[in-house]
Amino acid sequence: MKLLKFLLRYFPPGLALEYTQGGVVKTKMIDLLDLSAETDVRALAESIKAAEPVVTESVTEQLVETLQKLQAKVCDTNAKPYYKYKTLQTHLLPLTNIAFDKLGKRCLTGSYDRTCKVWNIDSGTELLTLEGHKNVVYTASFNNPASDKIVTGSFDATAKIWCSRTGHCVQTMWGHSAQVVVAKFSPSNDKVATGSLDATSKIFQTETGRELATLRGHTQEIVALHYDNDGNQMITGSFDGTVSIWDTRTASRTSVLIGHRADLSNCVYNFDCSLIGSSSMDKTAKVWETRMNRCLATLRRHDDEVLDLSFDNNGKKLATASSDTTARVWDVSSSFKQLAWMKDHRDEVSKVRTVSSC
Please state the φ and ψ torsions of residue 74, each to the nearest 5 degrees: -65, -35
Res. 302 pLDDT band, cuts 50 70 90 = very high
Cα angle for residues 246, 193, 174 (degrees, 5° grid): 125
pLDDT value of residue 354: 82
Q: What is the pLDDT of residues 15-24, one digit of tens each?
A: 999 999 999 9
Point out which residues pair with 184 in neighbouring strands: 193
pLDDT surpassing 70 at residue 355: no
- pLDDT tens sequence across 12-54: 899 999 999 999 999 999 999 889 999 999 999 999 999 999 9
pLDDT tens digit sequence for 117-130: 999 999 999 999 99
What is the pLDDT confidence band of residue 358, given thresholds at 50, 70 and 90?
A: very low
Report the pLDDT value the prediction gives residue 79, as an integer from 0 to 100: 67
| Structure confidence at residue 273 (pLDDT) | 96
Looking at the DSSP bridge assignments, the partners of residue 250 are none
pTM assigned to the model: 0.89
b/e map of 14-52 (b: 16 or more CB within 10 Å)? bbebebeeeeeeeeeeebbbebeeebebeebbeebbeeb
The pLDDT assigned to 12 comes to 86
Q: Bigger pLDDT: 216 or 81?
A: 216
Helix (H) or strand (E) holding 47: helix 41-51
User: Residue 78, by phi and psi: left (phi above 0), alpha (psi -120 to 50) or beta?
Assistant: beta
Q: What is the model's pLDDT at position 356?
A: 58
Residues 155-186: tens digit of each pLDDT: 999 999 999 999 999 999 999 999 999 999 99
The answer, yes or no, to whether residue 338 has pLDDT greater than 50, is yes
Q: How confident is the model at residue 357 (pLDDT cuts 50, 70, 90)?
A: low
Whether the CA torsion 146, 196, 348, 89 is positive or negative: it is positive
pLDDT of 154: 99
pLDDT of 71-92, one tens digit each?
Answer: 999 888 676 777 888 899 889 9
What percent of the chain lies above the pLDDT cut of 90? 89
User: pLDDT tens digits, residue range 258-268?
Assistant: 999 999 999 99
- Measured distance CA(21)–CA(53) in Å, rounded: 12
Alpha-carbon distance of 134 to 114, in angstroms, equals: 6
